[in-house]
Amino acid sequence: MRKYYVGLDVHKVSIAIAVLDVHGKLITRTVIETSTEAVRDFFGNLRGEIHLTFEEGNHAAWLYDIVEPLVRRVVACNPKHNRIEGSRSDRVDAVKLAELLRLNALKPVYHGEHGTRTLKHLMRCYECLVKDITRVKNRLKALYNSQAIKQRGRELYHASKRQSWLEKLPNQGQRTRAELFFQQLDELKVIKRAAQKAMVAESKRHPAYRVLSQVAELGPVRIAQIIPTVETPWRFRTKRPFWHYSGLAVVTRSTADHELENGRVRKRRKQVIQTRGLNQDYNRRLKSIFKSAATHASHCGAYREYYEGLLKTGMREEMARLAVARKLSATVLAVWKSGESFDAGRILRKTA
């Protein structure tokens, strides 16, 4: 059976396709419509063992569901790791993707669980509404700052003091503008509460909710965000890949690791290892969840003693909070995998 490597460059209207054989020879190139029927027709007429790739994007979930039963292997790849140099076009990109797939030089993006799809859409709806509320609040603050009207914290958003804040604006146009922003803020808050209620209710239908709800500092909203983002804990063999995925892995660099001793090359006894901060390629949502939870956990609850113990050893506050975030993420992974109850006594054990 012939083996083919297929690269797709997907756009709103069209999909550029390139097919290579095992030797890297271009078999065919074509452009089809971005539709379910066109995709199925193309792969229905392509005989052989098909390995397919396309870049993760807006169409990735839709396309993955269509082609997964039609081909041997599907790789939705991370576009940040695809170095395509020189002149570029849709057809050129499709060929380059097929070639990278043939060389096994692509970094895949996980697509596998379908049970969390409804929760994932509800979570995205909730997060969009949170961002919209933040934008409206920033516009209100910018309006008052432009008139040098001092306001601190959340006092500007209290409905009981709204009329007094409107009277502080000198111009009628500014008052009308602020009044409309306040109305928009009120309506968004109502919609956000409805979205949050639907998201949390859907998350409670998953078995993982009962397990994760026992972990200290994880409220219902954070759990409802973690479940569709991770989907399954078995994606990660140990806590260290999970730290990397969550943006909590420390990046180190070393060079000249060997030296010449008595005519033989040996590894240096004293290596100079320099840290370069945390990894840059990570899931933004998970990092925000664990770092915000760690900030709160450092001052109350089961993690406070662990945090204070790190400070006593001379560790800086920001590094201690990072350690708490790593401990929290490792706890989530361990509890989720084992299904055991959360044990606060294990928190004080030294992290590996």
Q: Give the residue, 131 or 261, on which the prediction is more confident.
A: 131
* Burial bucket for residue 161 (CB in 10 Å: 0-12, 13-18, 19+): exposed
pLDDT for the residue numbered 303: 85
Residue 42 has what pLDDT?
Answer: 95
What residue has token string 């409802």? 224
pLDDT at 351: 42
pLDDT band at 81 (very low <50, low <70, confident <90, very high): confident
Q: How confident is the model at residue 346 (pLDDT cuts 50, 70, 90)?
A: low
Q: Is the pLDDT of residue 290 over 60?
A: yes
Task: Please state the φ and ψ torsions of residue 246, each to the nearest 5 degrees.
Answer: -90, 0
Q: Is the pLDDT of residue 70 over 90?
A: yes
Q: Which residues contact 289 (CB under 8 A, 6 or more apart)?
A: 222, 225, 226
Model confidence band, residue 56 (pLDDT cutoffs 50, 70, 90): very high
Asked if residue 53 lies in contact with residue 100, where contact means CB atoms within 8 angstroms, the answer is yes
If pLDDT is split at 50, 70 and 90, which confidence band does 347 have? low
Q: What 3-state DSSP class applies to 86?
A: coil
- Domain segments of the chain: what residues? 3-102, 117-203, 207-249+278-348
Q: Are 32 and 14 in contact (CB under 8 A)?
A: yes
Strongest mean pLDDT among 76-85, 191-200, 316-325? 191-200
**pLDDT at position 348, please?**
57
Tokens of 316: 């800086």
| Poorest-pLDDT segment among 42-51, 297-306, 311-320 | 297-306
CA pair distance 141, 156, nearest whole angstrom: 8
* DSSP letter for each residue of 149-204: ----TTGGG-GGGHHHHHHT-SSHHHHHHHHHHHHHHHHHHHHHHHHHHHHHHHHT
In sequence order, what DSSP letters do the residues of 234-252 get, joined into one string?
GG-SSHHHHHHHTT-PEEE
pLDDT at 352 over 50: no
In the predicted model, is pLDDT for residue 262 greater than 90? no
Percent with pLDDT over 70 in the chain: 96
**What residues does 55 pair with on adjacent strands?**
77
Report DSSP state, residue 9: E
**Residue 327 contacts by C-beta under 8 Å, 6 or more apart in sequence?**
303, 306, 347, 351
Give pLDDT, residue 253: 79
Statement: residue 301 has pLDDT above 90: no
Q: Are 228 and 248 in contact (CB under 8 A)?
A: no
Query: Which DSSP string do the residues of 218-229 spell out, in sequence order?
Result: --HHHHHHHHHH
What superfamily does domain 3-102 belong to in CATH?
ATPase, nucleotide binding domain (3.30.420.40)
Question: Looking at this protein, which amino acid is placed at residue 308?
Answer: E
Contact 169, 145 (CB under 8 A): no
Residue 148 has pLDDT above 80, yes or no: yes
What's the one-letter identity of residue 90? Answer: D
